[in-house]
Chain A
């Protein structure tokens, strides 16, 4: 809130002893101005930080953008020896893994939020939501290690051979599910990402479900609605924009997640339809190759990839924030 500083004078009409403009009050006024400048500069620094991050990556990637033009975005070349680069394979991998993650995480998060707000007995809610939030606190590198050493062998031995045998022969979608059971690949990365973003989406959904006024739900129950009908026809419509915001927040995280994906994606620069095959993502490519990038063009191409990732997540997160704000406005706390 804005409070204008008390000026050294006295309001007219008040019968008070006028204060002399002492050295002390002058010092206070100066200190006030100084403090205001200091905090304003800190606030503006936040704006500058984001703009500088975007510009520095655009600048760092200029060599790649100059040489390959917009075709950088849809060329699938990735040849460090001849210094020809295109972003199609990493972009494809990023989008596919994030989509798999959202396909799993959104329904699961919705279920968790519904359980925590409508179904679970009171004593259980605090414990379970704390446990789910614990999942959000685990560093992403731990997810990656666990994925590589524990999940990948299990999937390679028990799950993917069956997926290949049963779904691999299907028309149309068969290509998605056929391939050697390596364990590493887009499907695994999508699953690990889903586990990582579930707590984020679930806690946003839980919070916004709690904002639904009790009388709305009670009215629906009084009219004979079942619990599912209350959630689907009352709670969800009331919170729709914020739920979409939460989903986009999770998507933003899934798109930019680096370590978890780098471990289990397999680091292969090949375009493949199969979810069982290794692939690459923008973040994983940068993490794997940046330290060994030996030419200016190589490094520039990687920074250009970073710029593309930045743009995409910026758009996704902007949508998320705008959607979340809609509900806050309705609540009167914009």
Chain B
């Protein structure tokens, strides 16, 4: 006997939904494969030693992106150096000091908003804060705008990781008469370190490819400079300007830069995961 018609319809509906779900997944993976393939093939075709040894060239000449790599590295590191300490301290406040107070809840909420706020808005903010005051674009302003992107990522992960540390560890240390600041620095931070490092690495992966805020802060510089009060070349903005230009040679350089950038960002992401996986919290 054939199944009841009603059940047949329900089953058909379920099968159709499952087929669509599989299709949706294939749809998502298809774009990933296409984008990675484009970056890989075009990047490998245009990469050479000049890329890492020469400066950004005028339109029809050969050159590399050494100054841009240096600028990106410097600004990212400065961004981390400005943003991460404040982030760790604010995360510590949320986890250890704010308790269940409304101010703690409010800071968490605002931090979540900051976490997903458009980066272009933060760029405009730093433009008004730094560039408009100094009167010109500078690498320092670029680093500050990146720091505002680092901040919420680090606050969030520090807060979450510290809350994972069992209360017994705090109680044990406090009952030995260790003052709370020492408990925080020597017990809690040590225990939560892999998580905090992961947060900082994730923040690094995010700011390395960040373009929009740098357009209003660091801008670009065709030449080599180590002066942080001057405009400085950086990989994302160079890619942007070169890709939007009509010159074939610049396009090639932009693809090479895009390839290196993607590789770096994905590698940092992988390392961040490995750090978490390598040292699971030993107490559970």
Interface residues of A (CB under 8 A from B): 1-3, 5-6, 28-29, 31-32, 34-36, 38-47, 49-50, 52-53, 56-57, 59-60, 107-112, 114-116, 118-120, 128, 131-132, 134-135, 137-146, 148-150, 195, 198-199, 202, 226-229, 231-232, 249, 252-253, 255-259, 262-263, 283, 286-287, 290-291, 303, 306, 309-310, 313-314, 317-318, 320-321
**Is B90 a contact of A42 with CB atoms below 8 Å?**
yes
**Is B25 a contact of A47 with CB atoms below 8 Å?**
no
Given A28-B179, A111-B24; A317-B212 close (CB under 8 Å): no
Q: Report B172-203 CB contacts with A as 1/0, cut-off 8 Å.
A: 00110101111010000000000000000000
- Further contacts, 18 of them, CB under 8 A, given A2-B96, A128-B29, A290-B127: A31-B181, A32-B179, A42-B87, A49-B151, A50-B113, A57-B125, A114-B24, A115-B25, A118-B21, A135-B31, A138-B36, A139-B236, A142-B262, A145-B243, A145-B254, A146-B38, A253-B116, A310-B121
Complex CA–CA separation, A291 to B127 (angstroms): 11
Give the chain B neighbours of A149 by CB distance below 8 A. 38, 42, 243, 251
Q: Which 8 residue pairs across A and B have the least CB separation, nearest first?
A: A139-B209, A256-B118, A111-B24, A42-B89, A226-B14, A2-B99, A43-B93, A35-B181
Complex CA–CA separation, A120 to B90 (angstroms): 40
Residue of A nearest to B35 (CB): A146
**Is A47 a contact of B106 with CB atoms below 8 Å?**
yes
19 residue pairs A–B, Cβ–Cβ below 8 Å? A1-B163, A43-B103, A53-B121, A57-B124, A60-B127, A118-B21, A134-B32, A139-B208, A139-B211, A141-B240, A142-B261, A146-B35, A199-B28, A226-B11, A228-B14, A228-B16, A228-B18, A232-B17, A321-B112
Give the chain A neighbours of B210 by CB distance below 8 A. 139
Give the chain B neighbours of A118 by CB distance below 8 A. 21
Partner of B28, one of A140, A146, A202, A259: A202
Which of B27, B32, B104, B118 is most buried by chain A, counting CB atoms within 10 A of its CB? B118
Q: Report B92-124 CB contacts with A as 1/0, cut-off 8 Å.
A: 111111111001101101111110111111101
**Is B13 a contact of A228 with CB atoms below 8 Å?**
yes
Interface of B, helix, strand, loop or mixed by DSSP: helix
Given A60-B128, A227-B18, A263-B244; A50-B28 close (CB under 8 Å): no
**Is B124 a contact of A39 with CB atoms below 8 Å?**
no
Complex CA–CA separation, A144 to B10 (angstroms): 43
Give the chain B neighbours of A320 by CB distance below 8 A. 116
Give the chain A neighbours of B98 by CB distance below 8 A. 2, 43
Q: Report B142-186 CB contacts with A as 1/0, cut-off 8 Å.
A: 000000100110010000000100010011001101011110100
Interface residues on B, range: 35 or more
**Is B32 a contact of A131 with CB atoms below 8 Å?**
yes
Q: Is B138 an interface residue (CB 8 A)?
A: no
Q: Report B1-45 CB contacts with A as 1/0, cut-off 8 Å.
A: 000000000110110111011111101110110111011001000
What's the nearest-Cβ distance from chain A to residue B134, in Å? 15
Give the chain A neighbours of B104 by CB distance below 8 A. 43
Give the chain A neighbours of B251 by CB distance below 8 A. 149
Q: Is B274 an interface residue (CB 8 A)?
A: no
Q: Is B69 an interface residue (CB 8 A)?
A: no
Interface residues of B (CB under 8 A from A): 10-11, 13-14, 16-18, 20-25, 27-29, 31-32, 34-36, 38-39, 42, 86-87, 89-90, 92-100, 103-104, 106-107, 109-114, 116-122, 124-125, 127-129, 132, 148, 151-152, 155, 163, 167, 170-171, 174-175, 177, 179-182, 184, 205, 208-212, 215-216, 219, 236, 239-240, 243-244, 251, 254-255, 258, 261-262, 265-266, 269
**Is B179 a contact of A286 with CB atoms below 8 Å?**
no
Complex CA–CA separation, A46 to B87 (angstroms): 9
Give the chain A neighbours of B265 by CB distance below 8 A. 137-139
**Is A32 a contact of B107 with CB atoms below 8 Å?**
no
Residue of B nearest to A19 (CB): B177
Partner of A46, one of B96, B152, B240: B152
Complex CA–CA separation, A2 to B167 (angstroms): 10
